[in-house]
Amino acid sequence: MLRFLQNYPHFLELVYAGLLRVLRPLRRWLRPGGRLEPPLIWLERVGKGAVFDCQMCGQCILHSTGMTCPMTCPKNLRNGPCGGVRSNGRCEVKPEMGCIWVQAYERAQKMPVSGHELHVIQPPLNRRLEGSASWINMLHGLDTVVPKGWLPDDPPAP
């Protein structure tokens, strides 16, 4: 419905940063599993659903992916593109859709603040956060917890 807004990633990144600035001082009230989480989940589902086709992964990285939701990739790739993107920029799984990583790249070029974050390697998705409020997870650092053995200096996972 509001997907056309994705054509204005420079505007969206400012809106998103402003929203997080508003939420940050409310951190002590916005707790995982707290009473305020359900309304935030609703807000994300409706708002980000309308603009980004948000899949409620609970670990939002929109600002690192050209304000393009990586979970709309049929392979759910958080670090893309895969090797199958077609020469016309279409998806190999669903040729009727454009590769979201091509879109992410093009949109990131228009984002002066966080466009460079497209080069950051994203950690594996924590599926336990699915359906929760990504804004709350971000305020409490839950979205940056990575599995043991993932960071270069970590001992290997058992």
Note the residues at the interface with ligand SF4 (CB under 6 A).
Answer: 48, 52, 54-57, 59-62, 69-71, 134
Phi, psi of 38 (to 5 degrees): -55, -45
Q: What single letter denotes the amino acid at residue 134?
A: S
Length of the chain measured in residues: 158
Which is nearer to ligand SF4, 40 or 55 (by Cβ)?
55
- DSSP letter, residue 123: P
- The answer to whether the beta carbons of residues 90 and 103 sit under 8 Å apart is no
Which is nearer to ligand SF4, 72 or 119 (by Cβ)?
72
- Label residues 5-17 b or e (16+ Cβ within 10 Å = b): ebeebeebbeebe
**Measured distance CA(44)–CA(40) in Å, rounded:** 6
State in angstroms the smallest separation of the CB of 104 from ligand SF4: 11
State in angstroms the smallest separation of the CB of 158 from ligand SF4: 29
State in angstroms the smallest separation of the CB of 84 from ligand SF4: 21
State in angstroms the smallest separation of the CB of 139 from ligand SF4: 14
Which is nearer to ligand SF4, 54 or 104 (by Cβ)?
54
Which is nearer to ligand SF4, 130 or 154 (by Cβ)?
130
Contacts of 99 (CB under 8 A, 6+ apart): 73, 80, 81, 85, 86, 89, 90, 91
Q: What single letter denotes the amino acid at residue 122?
A: Q
State in angstroms the smallest separation of the CB of 51 from ligand SF4: 9
Which is nearer to ligand SF4, 38 or 149 (by Cβ)?
38
